Amino acid sequence: MDQPSPHTAQSLASDLRALGVASGDVLLLHSSNRSLGFVVGGTQAVVQALLDVLGPEGTLVVPTHTPENTDPAGWQHPPVPEAWWPAIREQAPGFEPSCTPSRWMGVIAEAVRMWPGALRSDHPQVSFAALGMNAAGIVGGHQLDDALGETSPLGAVYRLNGKVLLLGCGYNSNTSLHLAEWRQKSPPRAVTGSSVRQPDGTSQWTTWVDIVADESDFDRLGADFEAAGAAVIGQVGGATAQLMSQPVLVDFATAWMSANRLPKHSVSKKPLASGEAPVLASS
């Protein structure tokens, strides 16, 4: 029995084009590297395939979140002793876009973060990295108290009529759905905090209030979105992939949440973050 050919940068690029990724696109990627199967050249070849398809006028965007840079009082997986909390808050080195690694975002996202020419937003919990023509405009001006809202990279992708690609992962990894949360009327808010690097190289524990992220119903939302025929589903390498318009997705999700979520009105003093992640993580 003949063995199947291995996946390559060229074959992945062909799969991406067949799915609908096009030159000049702004593409927000969530990915599971292992879902692709064996790729000649590994993660480097995957990123190269994406960049080849997007071309010099396209832009590749990935989440590079740092959920460990959150208030230890809210950590659950695992929790840490309360006696440790002051040291964690006071001694954490502080988020530095150029060198702080992402966590739980996957090796493809981390490869993009480290790719020559990549730019990264400076939010200490939910940064994004971008490569390409619109990178600076997407990652610039990421405000602490609008982590996943209109002024965030998600909002920038929306205004640029970008696309979302789920590569071997589900809607619980679809960070753009959080932009719909930020668009709800009076969404619940909470205090959160992170260690933030200062211009003089020191670190300072900083707190702010932002909207509470909740992805518990994202899979159900995604199923309804796909049932409406709004996503293109196909194969990229060994992975099942879903490609969709980010504005269409966010508009659908905004209406869906308004109809399906009970209103919650609160400002909690409890931290927003958990020990796993304050937002979605790609595998």
**Judging by beta carbons within 10 Å of its beta carbon (0-12, 13-18, 19+), is residue 52 exposed, middle or buried?**
middle
Whether 48 has a pLDDT exceeding 70, the answer reads yes
DSSP structure class, residue 193: E
CA distance 228 to 218: 15
The pLDDT-based confidence of 264 (bands split at 50, 70, 90) is low
* Domain residue spans of the chain: 9-71+97-185+215-264
Whether 265 has a pLDDT exceeding 60, the answer reads no
Is 80 in a helix, a strand, or coil? coil
Answer yes or no: are the C-beta atoms of 145 and 208 closer than 8 Å: yes
pLDDT computed for residue 221 by the predictor: 97
Average pLDDT (210-214) is: 93
Whether 282 has a pLDDT exceeding 60, the answer reads no
Per DSSP, what are the bridge partners of residue 209?
191
Query: Checking DSSP bridges between strand 163-167 and strand 239-245, what pairing results, if any?
Result: antiparallel
CA distance 279 to 109: 15
119-120: strand order across its sheet: 119-120, 128-132, 59-63, 26-31, 163-167, 239-245, 232-236
Quickly tell me which residue has 């099942």 as its tokens: 240
Per-residue pLDDT tens over the stretch 216-240 = 999 999 999 999 999 999 999 999 9
State residue 247 phi and psi, 5-degree precision.
-60, -40
CA distance 122 to 280: 18
187 cis-preceded (ω within 30 degrees of 0): no
**C-alpha 16: how far from its chain's center?**
20
CA nearest 89: which of 109, 65, 63, 71? 71
% the chain with pLDDT above 70: 92
The pLDDT-based confidence of 126 (bands split at 50, 70, 90) is very high
CA distance 202 to 107: 29
Per-residue pLDDT tens over the stretch 109-125 = 999 999 999 999 999 99
pLDDT computed for residue 283 by the predictor: 29
pLDDT computed for residue 173 by the predictor: 94
pLDDT computed for residue 244 by the predictor: 98
Per-residue pLDDT tens over the stretch 55-103 = 999 999 999 999 888 888 888 878 999 999 888 888 888 888 888 888 8
Is 129 in a helix, a strand, or coil? strand
DSSP structure class, residue 95: B
Whether 271 has a pLDDT exceeding 90, the answer reads no
